[in-house]
Structure 1
């Protein structure tokens, strides 16, 4: 039965302890490699965590709607095929639709409209399947490969607003948090605007770094006087 790893091995570092002989003097270890093995990353030794990715939305409502529509269409066509195989005439709407499609030219307005709607629906379904969604959740840095965390954009904006309000001379703050950019609009009722902006840049840069996001957004700070735009 193997012994549990100590703290040094758990953190990915290798400790070589000398072996004491009977005389009490240190004796080198028997099997020592010529080169030191590469040290593991300080995340538990499980490998590099990698770049944090966005969270994928389940999209249960669109999937349920598409499934119900496909199920209903398949059921109708299956019933019509079974009716024709049983010697009964097909549904009137299907025969009318087949005749209209056979007689109408391809440049007809109704045919183009139906093709456009179908193509738009197909592109929408492809976009839903290929994009992650959950744009309001910002992925955070992964310190362990088995743990993922996200921060809501509203919560991140609230933290930055509270930090900006601590700067002297700030009257009101408006923060707009995006995935790659953070826009901060500040109203200052006293102190020089350049001094307020310099303090805000320092405080907000530290606050953005403290959020622990996997990709730090670009910070844009605007300071103005009350009653003025821009």
Structure 2
């Protein structure tokens, strides 16, 4: 009597194999070498699978068309090779690679972005134009100069007497100067001095402290990224580390601080995983000046220690000895 096919057994495709297939399929979606896969994910539930890949696409290219080609190819190829139903694939474009013309041909080839700007220099922060402060200062200065000019022209051209406010102002300044010993003159002089220092600092500093320069592939390309965007990337990447339940990220101009809460697992292992993931994410951002990373992992109040090994969980009873294979069973 033969066994029915349904009762002969089942074939299970591991999530790791599905992830590897999806990553391989993403590299085949466009021309060879144009798609670069950073990380893939897969979740298998019965006969259905959900896959996702983070990729680097060539530039220039129409992102929606290139992303749709990668998504459809990954879904179809994974379903065909695994036999699972893959409704769709999630594609995340993490960065772009600029194409350069190959020597002797008219084709464009992808070029890796370097961390340093060509010429040996470093990418600098964008210089803030500070349009609003300059406009306010120019308006106030122009109004005061126009008021004084009107009074002087009216005195010399029309023969009118000086304005009373200008006469009183000149008399007050003559009697309350910095050398007169009166505190109002000294206070005004100190305020003018501090205002000059502030204007000098504003003039020689770039501003835009929320932006971080990105190393461009060409000297004519200047790219920046907001610090909040870097913090979001770090937060999303660290949140995927097993055992991490809470993530707080703070990105400054020179350093990045990551604080993670651990719900289960070994704290030392989790800290290494969080540090490695954060370093990989910062490296993928392509910053012109790498940030100093500081990682802190703390256990949550409901933290569970890792399960003991099998050898420790089944101790040998007192007074019992392991039985030899040749010894007869009583």
Distance 1:105 1:118 in 2: 13
TM-score (norm 1): 0.77
Asked if structure 2 preserves the Cα contact closer than 8 Å seen for 1:180 and 1:217, the reply is: yes
Distance (whole Å) between structure 1 residues aligned to residue 170 and residue 285 of structure 2: 60
Q: CA deviation at 1:104?
A: 2.7
Query: In structure 1, what is the equivalent of residue 175 of structure 2?
Result: 103
Q: Which has the higher contact order (CA 8 A, sep 6+)?
A: 1
Q: Which runs of 4+ in 1 moved over 6 A?
A: none
Residue by residue over 1:181-225, the C-alpha shift from the partner in whole angstroms, topping out at 9 and shown as x without a partner, is 001111111112111111111111111111100001000001112
Are 1:7 and 2:109 an aligned pair? Answer: no
For 1:158 and 1:123, locate their aligned partners in 2 and report how far apart those are by CA, in whole Å. Answer: 37
Contact 1:181 1:220 in 2 (8 A): yes
- CA drift of 1:48 comes to 2.3
> What is the count of residue pairs matched by the alignment?
191
Whether the aligned pair in 1 keeps the contact of 2:177 and 2:186 (CA below 8 Å) is no
Post-superposition CA distance 1:87-122 (Å, at most 9, x none): 211111211111122223522111012112212222
Relative to 1, partners in 2 of residues 1:227 and 1:47: Cα closer, same or farther, differing over 3 Å? Answer: closer
- Go from structure 1 to structure 2 and tell me whether the alpha carbon gap of 1:84 and 1:227 turns closer, same or farther (over 3 Å shift): farther
Quote the RMSD (CA, aligned, Å): 2.3
TM-score normalized with structure 2 length: 0.54
CA distance in 2, matches of 1:155, 1:165: 15
CA contact (8 A) 2:247 2:261 kept: yes
Bigger proportion of residues as strand: 2
Task: Indicate the structure (1 or 2) with the bigger Cα radius of gyration.
Answer: 2
Alignment partner of 1:183 is 2:257: yes
Give the unaligned 5+ runs of structure 1: 1-5, 11-41
Aligned counterpart in structure 1 of residue 140 of structure 2, from 59, 69, 72: 69
Where in structure 2 are there 5+ consecutive unaligned residues?
1-100, 106-112, 303-330
